[in-house]
Amino acid sequence: MGRLTEPVAVVARLLTVLVAGCAAPDTDVQETALTSMPTPTSSSDTMPDQFGFGRPATHEEIAAWDIDVMADGAGLPDGEGTAESGGPIYARQCAACHGTEGEGRTAAPLVGYEPESTPPFGPRYEAWRGEGDDVPFTVGNYWPYATTLYDYIYRAMPSSAPGSLEPDEVYSLVAWILAENAFITDDAVMNATTLPAVEMPAREIFVPQPLP
């Protein structure tokens, strides 16, 4: 037991300091430090209007990345396509994942506008469905804007080679999906003017959350 005495004494001193609160600063050194240096001024509220970091983006650089398409059609490029021209492209690029008729396989179903003019949920849907099977959420019953199809396909599809489709191909695929959902005819030409005008039944069901 005797050899424990010394370590215990050290621990006891340390604990006494800790229990008494944090060790007090060395007053002599602190006073010296404060008197030998100029008083600091605040710098946190003197941000410049501009730091001048970075460099101007050129029109070409912006154009290369600015691929988004808005609901009113802003951003849609030149080009066009129909469901007829889209069929073969769909079969080649999309059917393996989305199904030959757009019914969905490993990827989401694209076709299905049942029940007509009613979203796939809510009181009217439940009344329509009765004891029948549920229908999936699709472009036909849950996509509010046709332009979003163009934006998404052009940027992200097909998933094995995203960004590889030309505008004419994308317009054709959009036309095929819209025609399969019976929103346009097979020979309707989709382009920067006609696509934003396609009315999507799901448009009316979306209510923006009041933003905080």
Partner 1 sequence: MPRKITRRDLLTSAAGAVGAASITTSGAHAQTTDTTKRPGALAGERGTRSAHEQAIRRVSTARSSSQTPLQDLHGTITPSDLHFERHHAGIPTIDPDEYALLIHGMVDRPTILTLADLKRFPATSRICFVECSGNYLRDAGPETKPEQVCGRTSSTEWTGVSLATLLREVGAGPDATWLLAEGQDAAVMTRSVPMKKARDDAMVVYAQNGEALRPAQGYPARLLLPGWEGNSNVKWLRRIELADRPFMTREETSKYTDPLADGTARQFSFVFDARSIITSPAYPEVVEPGWVEIRGLAWSGRGAIAQVDISTDGGRSWQVAGLQGPVLPQAHIRFRYLWRWDGTASEIMSRAVDETGYVQPTRDALIAARGRRARGYHLNPITAWRIEPSGQVYYREERPWDG
| Residue 8 interacting with partner 1 (CB under 8 A) | yes
Classify residue 15 as exposed, middle or buried by CB count within 10 Å of its CB (0-12, 13-18, 19+): exposed
For helices 167-180 and 83-93, what crossing angle results, to 10°? Answer: 100
| Residue 66 interacting with partner 1 (CB under 8 A) | yes
Q: What is the Cα–Cα distance from 205 to 188, expressed in whole angstroms?
A: 26
| Residue 46 interacting with partner 1 (CB under 8 A) | no
| Residue 124 interacting with partner 1 (CB under 8 A) | yes
Q: How far is the CB of 34 from partner 1 (least distance, A)?
A: 27
Token pair, residue 127, equals 């009344």
| Residue 162 interacting with partner 1 (CB under 8 A) | yes
Which residues are 88's β-sheet partners?
none
Helix (H, G, I), strand (E, B) or coil at 177: helix
Given 11, 17, 33, 182, the residue binding partner 1 (CB under 8 A): 11
Whether residue 122 contacts residue 182, with contact meaning beta carbons closer than 8 Å, is answered with no
Contacts with partner 1, residue ranges (CB under 8 A): 4, 7-8, 11-12, 15-16, 19-20, 47, 49-51, 53-57, 61-62, 65-68, 70-71, 118-126, 134, 137, 139, 142-145, 147-148, 151-152, 155-156, 159, 162-163, 202, 205-209, 211-212
